[in-house]
Amino acid sequence: QSWRASLLWFDPEADGPRPHFESDGLLVTAADAAGVQRVVAVGAYDTLRPRYSDVAVHDRRGRLIAPGFIDLHIHYPQTDVIGSPADGLLPWLERYTFPQEARFADPGHAASVARFFFDELLRHGVTTVLAFGTSHPGSVDALLGEAQARGLRCIAGKSLQDRHSPDGVRDETEASLRDTEALIARWHGRDRLGYAITPRFAPSCSDAQLHGAGALAARYSDVWIQSHVAENLDELRWVRALYPQDRSYLAVYERFGLLRRRAVYAHGIYLDDADRALLARTGAAVAVSPTSNLFLGSGFFDYAAAREAGVTLGLASDVGGGMSFSPFATMRAAYTVGRASVRGDGAAKRGVSLAATDLWWQHTAGAARALGLAWVVGSLAPGSEADFVVLDPAATPLLARRTAQAASLEEWLFALILLADDRAVTEVVVAGAPASHAFTEATPDLHG
């Protein structure tokens, strides 16, 4: 099959945005020998059409086709936490988040939220996520089972939290590690699915649990790791009290062998230069989560310092601390956070103006690179899996007006980032097939 539209794609392996744009482009996909739908060619319509003259064309002129968005950090069990008020991270966890997560002991509840979660992601053009489950192993079965049924690429893990967690979400050290290993065996590498070893954050894990997580991370070197680091000032004080012997919050994870490639840490607002050098050296990545940081009043991520140190990073919603499933909302917030010249603890940072192509890259090819999936998703490079979105740059009156006035690609993409929402996402293609039916049939589950 092929699609004719304006096309935005990226060099898959570059450590920064290298965008390509074709105003009248053709995207050609086909099944490989194993039956996986992949991009075969991407480029100018006039150049490619003669070579693929026997291939059906979906005419989407006037629309933009871009890689499906990748959300580098999201909590599916917090779908029903978005919109709850909060007095900062720790009170919000106690008051809203842990009670909601306790409900995932019920597999029926987990399955129903997983369905809604993917409907909502697809409606917003997000086709790959690195997701937290709850501490209940069944929450991961529900999520990855649903992703498998839809042919989606998804990485998820059972949250490890054997202390400082209330009844209903606290797990038990030995059982939590056995459950993790069983989930790796059940899901990792099956179809498009992956497993992430998921210590919730240092305060919620005993030394024995972190030690066990590190041992699993060493034994299963292509399994992912996900956690939180240096998000909030109260959290930072707590970590200092719990781990007085460690140089920094990040150093706790280092001591337990949890910094390596395929490790993704959310937030990273309160890192110092030594921490950034450690991230760069180990290849662990930061999931920048700007709407969450604004909502919880956590602080402002220091892009200039992270980039100078060579830290791998990408964008994330961090729903339900995050305020929206929309990649556009996340990219807007990232721009705002980048502009800020303070960090949140009185320290200054350099304000930067992130380019539209950079913001877009951080939520697609940059995020894929952070996951070690550069040639797999996020770029539309030939050979990658056929996950993409079709966007309508005239979806709403102001969006139509401002994109029509743009004098350059940068201005056009910037107007899209600032003004688009789910109404601009007209189609979503997952593994070469329309995923749109999934959200037209969505029925919210309102019980309880």
- Give the binding site for Fe ion (CB under 5 A): 266, 318
User: Is 158 near ligand GUN (CB under 6 A)?
Assistant: no
CA distance 269 to 272: 9
Amino acid in the structure at residue 76: Y
Cα 334 from Cα 131, distance rounded (Å)? 20
Q: Would you say 2 or 100 has its CB closer to ligand GUN?
A: 100
Minimum distance from CB of 83 to ligand GUN (Å)?
A: 15
String of DSSP letters for 244-298: TTSSSHHHHHHHTT--STTEEEEE-TT--HHHHHHHHHHT-EEEE-HHHHHHTT-
User: HEC profile for 8-37?
Assistant: EEECCCCCCCCEEEEEEEEEEEEECCCCCE
The H or E element spanning position 129 is strand 126-132
CB of 321 to Fe ion, least distance (A): 6
**SS3 label, residue 45:** helix
| Residue 44, number of CB atoms within 10 A of its CB | 13
Partner that binds at residue 438, options ligand GUN, Fe ion, none, CB closer than 5 to 8 Å by kind: none
CB of 317 to ligand GUN, least distance (A): 11
Tell which one of 75, 115, 150, 188 touches ligand GUN (CB under 6 A).
Answer: 75
> Interface mask (CB under 6 A) for ligand GUN, residues 2-41, using x and -?
----------------------------------------
Ranked by CB distance to ligand GUN, the top (closest) residue is: 321
For residue 115, give both structure tokens: 């369905």
- Under the criterion CB under 6 A, does residue 134 sit at the interface with ligand GUN? no
Site string for ligand GUN, 231-250 (x = CB under 6 A): x-------------------
In which residue are the tokens 């966890």 written?
A: 93
- Interface size with ligand GUN, residues (CB under 6 A): 11
330 binds ligand GUN (CB under 6 A): no
Of 326, 296, 140, the residue nearest 228 (C-alpha) = 296
Closer residue to ligand GUN, CB minimum distance, 269 or 399: 269
Among 200, 276, 332, 363, binds ligand GUN (CB under 6 A): 200
State the nearest-atom distance from the C-beta of 204 to Fe ion, in Å: 12
CB of 92 to ligand GUN, least distance (A): 8
Q: Is 226 in the site for ligand GUN (CB under 6 A)?
A: no
Q: Are 195 and 156 in contact (CB under 8 A)?
A: yes
Residue 288 interacting partner from ligand GUN, Fe ion, none (CB closer than 5 to 8 Å by kind): none
- Compare residues 3 and 265 and give the one whose CB is closer to Fe ion: 265
Q: How many residues does the chain have?
A: 448
Q: Which does 301 bind (CB under 5 to 8 A by kind): ligand GUN, Fe ion, none?
A: none
* Segment interacting with ligand GUN (CB under 6 A) among 36-44, 58-66, 89-97, 139-147: 89-97
28: which strand partners?
A: 2, 41
Please name the residues in contact with 287: beta carbons below 8 A apart, sequence gap of 6 or more: 72, 73, 130, 226, 264, 265, 266, 267, 313, 314, 315, 316, 318, 370
Question: To 5 degrees, how large is the angle CA 26–CA 30–CA 31?
Answer: 165
For Fe ion, the closer CB: 77 or 138: 77
Residue number, 132 or 412, with CB nearest to ligand GUN: 132
Smallest distance, ligand GUN to C-beta of residue 282, A? 21
Q: How far is the CB of 218 from ligand GUN (least distance, A)?
A: 24
- What does DSSP say about strands 37-44 and 57-67: parallel, antiparallel, or unpaired? unpaired
Q: Is 89 in the site for ligand GUN (CB under 6 A)?
A: yes
Least Cβ distance, residue 16 to ligand GUN (angstroms): 27
- Please report whether residue 201 would count as binding ligand GUN according to CB under 6 A: yes
How far is residue 152's CA from residue 146's CA, in Å, rounded to a whole number? 9
Of ligand GUN, Fe ion, none, which one does residue 89 interact with (CB within 5 to 8 Å by kind)?
ligand GUN
Selection from ligand GUN, Fe ion, none that 231 binds (CB < 5 to 8 A by kind) is ligand GUN
Query: How distant, in Å, are the alpha carbons of 73, 156, 363, 384 from that of 327?
Result: 12, 19, 7, 21
- Cβ neighbours for 426, distance < 8 A, ≥ 6 positions apart: 63, 390, 391, 392, 395
Decide: is 338 part of the binding site for ligand GUN (CB under 6 A): no
Q: Return residues touching ligand GUN (CB under 6 A).
A: 75, 89, 93, 97, 200-201, 228, 231, 292, 318, 321
